[in-house]
Every structure is written in C-alpha cells, then in structure tokens.
C-alpha cells in the first residue's frame, strides 16, 4: 500500500543529516523492545513481512514523530491483540502501573533454563532465511531489460513507489524467496524469483535532476516486473 512509510525518492522532506557514530540504543528501553521481535516471532505473532506491515499501519503522524523502536512495539502489540495473544486492557493496566511505580520490580524470570535467551542469541545474528526452492522456472535472466509494473498494491508490498513504471536491467538473479505481498498479508509464503535490477539515475529522477553516470540497484520479486517494451 502507499503510505508515509514509503519515503524513498519523495521530495519536500528536507535534507538528510545523519548523525556520525550514532549509538545503537538511544535509550535503555530500546534494548528490551529489540528482544520482543524474536520472542514474538517464535510465539507465532507474525512473520517478517507481516511484522513490517504492522508498522506500516501506524497513524502517519505517530509514525513520523516516534522513535524507531516504538514502531516495533506497535507492530508486536497490533499482531498480539489481533491474534488474541495479548489483552489490550492488561497492556494498559501494566503500563500505567509502571508509569506510576517506575522502581517497581519486573516480573520474575520465566526462562530459568535460558532457553529463550539462547534462541535470541541464535536468531538475531542469523536472521530468518527467506530462500525457498519450489522448482519454479525463472522468467527473467541477467541482462534482461525489465519494467516495474506501475500499480498501487493493496496491503503490504516491497515495491517502492519511486521504481514503479521505471525500466532497468537485471543484474543478479537470487532464486526463489518468500513473496512479501502474500506473506505480509496473511496469504502464505507463495515463493517467487527475486532479481537485483539496476536503474540509471536519469531513469528514476529525470535527466535534469539526476547525478550523471549514477545508478540505483533494487531487489524486485518477479510479479513486480514485465519485459521492457522498448
């Protein structure tokens, strides 16, 4: 879907001023929020793509004005409540309790054998591999000129707005991977071939605005592209 989360190539936002040597955690609570993802993933709250879709459904103003890990908390809560695994009233009750009693002890350790800690330590470095092999034949090959379909997908997609309708050249073929447009919308993995496509700056931004001789690569799933017409 189109939304404020898809900022790539959007003008009118202002200059990007990255912070040099920015810390990984800006506050202590962000460390704890980071651990929610692998634990909730293991508990069946979501897959990687539906986790992203949960963040995309935040109120646009809240999305732009809240810290990054609040987006994570929103998605965990959204999916937990949606699947009946979290009680919104209990969340509100516990939140208010700790706001009023910030020094109150946390609940007792429910992982005495360290099983969950071991799971987190294994999952975070390795990630969640998305590669699948169903034997489906690829429709495109390295060197093919392709055009990204210019539609507005409903629900979650990884087809950024700024590449829609643009033509580029397939640079790499990665085989089949989980398809975000189905997995993120509770429609199953439905693996599709993935390609890295190179677009010239002039194609994306126009000859007058583009830096000369530059290009951008973008990973696209097969349903996103069609053979170039020219």
Same domain assignment for residues 34 and 122: yes
Same domain assignment for residues 95 and 173: no
Q: What distance in Å separates the CA atoms of residue 86 and residue 169, rounded to the nearest whole number?
A: 46
Q: What distance in Å separates the CA atoms of residue 82 and residue 76, rounded to the nearest whole number?
A: 10
Beta bridge mates, 193: 176
* Residue 191 covered by a domain: yes
CATH number (domain holding residue 95): 1.10.472.20
Which of 126, 154, 178 finishes a domain? 126
- Based on C-alpha coordinates, what's the Rg of the chain? 21
* Residue 132 covered by a domain: no
Q: What distance in Å separates the CA atoms of residue 15 and residue 26, rounded to the nearest whole number?
A: 22
* Residue 87 covered by a domain: yes
Same domain assignment for residues 119 and 157: no
Structure tokens at 75: 């998605």
Torsion of CA 206, 208, 210, 214, to 10 degrees: 100
Which of 98, 126, 154 finishes a domain? 126
pLDDT at 217: 98
Same domain assignment for residues 216 and 180: yes
* Residue 157 covered by a domain: yes
Which of 62, 91, 126 finishes a domain? 126
Q: What distance in Å separates the CA atoms of residue 83 and residue 209, rounded to the nearest whole number?
A: 47
pLDDT at 81: 96
Q: What distance in Å separates the CA atoms of residue 179 and residue 191, rounded to the nearest whole number?
A: 5
* Residue 165 covered by a domain: yes
User: In which domain, by residue range, is 181 found?
Assistant: 145-227
* Residue 18 covered by a domain: no
Same domain assignment for residues 64 and 118: yes
Same domain assignment for residues 150 and 118: no
Same domain assignment for residues 165 and 202: yes
Same domain assignment for residues 45 and 118: yes
pLDDT at 36: 87
Q: What distance in Å separates the CA atoms of residue 220 and residue 170, rounded to the nearest whole number?
A: 10
Same domain assignment for residues 99 and 151: no
The structural domain count of the chain equals 2
CATH number (domain holding residue 205): 2.30.30.50
* Residue 19 covered by a domain: no
Structure tokens at 45: 């709250």
* Residue 134 covered by a domain: no
Same domain assignment for residues 194 and 153: yes
Same domain assignment for residues 37 and 114: yes
Q: What is the pLDDT along the chain (230 residues), one digit of tens a residue?
A: 788 899 888 888 888 888 888 888 999 999 989 888 888 988 889 999 999 999 999 999 999 999 999 999 999 999 999 999 999 999 999 999 999 999 999 888 777 777 878 887 887 787 788 999 999 999 999 999 999 999 988 899 999 999 999 999 999 999 999 999 999 999 999 999 999 999 999 999 998 888 888 999 999 999 999 999 86
Same domain assignment for residues 106 and 36: yes
């Amino acid at each position: 879907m189109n939304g404020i989360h898809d900022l790539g190539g959007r003008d009118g936002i202002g200059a990007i001023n990255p912070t040099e040597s920015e810390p990984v955690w800006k506050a202590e609570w962000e460390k704890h929020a980071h651990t929610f993802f692998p634990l909730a993933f293991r508990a069946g709250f979501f897959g990687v793509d539906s986790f992203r879709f949960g963040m995309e459904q935040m109120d646009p103003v809240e999305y732009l004005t809240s810290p990054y890990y609040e987006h994570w908390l929103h998605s965990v809560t959204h999916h937990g409540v949606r699947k009946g695994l979290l009680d919104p009233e209990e969340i509100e009750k516990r939140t208010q309790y700790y706001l009023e009693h910030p020094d109150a002890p946390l609940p007792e350790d429910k992982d005495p054998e360290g099983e969950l800690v071991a799971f987190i330590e294994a999952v975070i470095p390795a990630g969640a591999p998305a590669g699948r092999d169903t034997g489906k034949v690829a429709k495109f090959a390295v060197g093919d000129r392709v055009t990204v379909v210019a539609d507005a997908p409903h629900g979650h997609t990884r087809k950024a707005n700024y590449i829609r309708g643009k033509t580029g050249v397939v640079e790499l073929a990665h085989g089949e991977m989980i398809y975000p447009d189905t997995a993120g919308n509770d429609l199953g993995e439905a693996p599709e071939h993935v390609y890295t496509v190179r677009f010239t700056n002039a194609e994306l931004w126009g000859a007058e605005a583009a830096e000369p001789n530059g290009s951008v690569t973008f990973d696209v799933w097969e349903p996103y592209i069609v053979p170039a017409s020219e």
